[in-house]
Amino acid sequence: MTGHDDDRALVAAANAGDRRALDTLLRTHYDRIYAVCRRITGSDADAAAAAQEALIKIVRSLPGFAGRAAFSTWAYRIATNTSLDELRRRRRRPAVVDRVDEDGYDLDVADPDSGPRVEAIVDRMSIDAALAQLPEAFRVPLVLRDVGDLDYAEIAEALDIPVGTVKSRIARGRAGLIELLAAGNREPSDERPTHDL
């Protein structure tokens, strides 16, 4: 990932009309933006929609980016708000009954190489299910910290709350996540710490 100075240079170039700089900026941050969206929305389909919408908003808002915060902080704030909007839209959608599971996976498609991946998928699904049960107030700062890799001050700025509140919510979110994982009979191991997202 580029540093803050590299991001500032790319933003300046993108705002001057350099499409390659814009492409580089978006590609550099896309994986983290998608990861934040995935963990907040709880599904691949909703995360893809939220990440795409977040990128559109980032591009449209880029001329107004003042640079007071790091570009990543600003971008994750947009991704967070877009993900929360996607969750609200999902709650209003009618349920569709077909051969697709709750995460949007087609149940009629088999993966011949799934054997070695099963444990990792189960771990991810367990964590995602537990995260989905956390209140948004705890889930969002936890995701920004552990997935977005933002520090406490950046999260406070992104969510417009005090740093002490950020620390408290992350601590409570991690405690809640551990409780939910334990309640789901997930056996923690040394290789897979339960506090890591």
Contact 184, 126 (CB under 8 A): yes
pLDDT tens column, 36-57: 999 898 888 888 889 999 999 9
Q: State the pTM of this model.
A: 0.60
Contact 177, 131 (CB under 8 A): yes
19-23, 123-127, 188-192: which has the minimum mean pLDDT? 188-192
pLDDT tens column, 132-188: 888 989 999 988 888 888 889 989 988 889 999 999 999 998 888 888 877 764 444
What pairs with residue 45 in β-bridges?
Answer: none
Taking phi over 0 as left and psi of -120 to 50 as alpha, with beta for the rest, 160 belongs to left
